[in-house]
Amino acid sequence: MQMGPMIDVVFLLLVFFMVTAKPIKQESDLGLGLPGAVAQEESVDIPDEQRIVIRADLQVVLNDLELDSPADGELPELFATLERFRKSAELGGGDALVTIAPAKSVPHQRVVDVLNTCGRARLTNVTFSSHGEGEGG
């Protein structure tokens, strides 16, 4: 068996692995940024958010303020408040966000009434929360 070609192949493999290997960074070479107070160059836009809770007794509560009666499907007070909220968010240059948090026992129709009111107020950023008032979690 000839050893010359085998040694050539071994050296070629050694050169190949040496060229393709990446050097390992030492721990002292790693950049580490510690948290601290840094002045921001531009302001951060924080969206305005309102939370609508639908309680088990069908009462609609907007940020701890009870609006309309539980039997009212049109929700005029909620509509007026949401419309003012949307306009003020637009004037401020932010996004108007609404989170709906119905209790587990609320009928779907009441949630649809609140969604329709959000639609009439032309709110597009509406999300749901899984924890309504009076629920654990």
CATH number for 73: 3.30.420.270
* The predicted structure's pLDDT at residue 26: 66
Please, what is the average pLDDT of the chain?
Answer: 83
Q: For residue 111, count CB atoms less than 10 angstroms from its CB and return exposed for 0-12, middle for 13-18, buried for 19 or more.
A: middle
Task: Judge whether 10 lies within some domain.
Answer: no
Range of the domain at 71: 48-128
Residue 80 domain flag = yes
Q: What is the pLDDT of residues 41-83, one digit of tens each?
A: 666 555 578 899 999 999 999 988 898 888 888 899 999 999 9
pLDDT at 39: 65
Q: How many domains does the chain have?
A: 1
| Distance from C-alpha of 72 to C-alpha of 69, rounded to nearest angstrom | 5
**What is the pLDDT, as a whole number, of residue 136?**
42
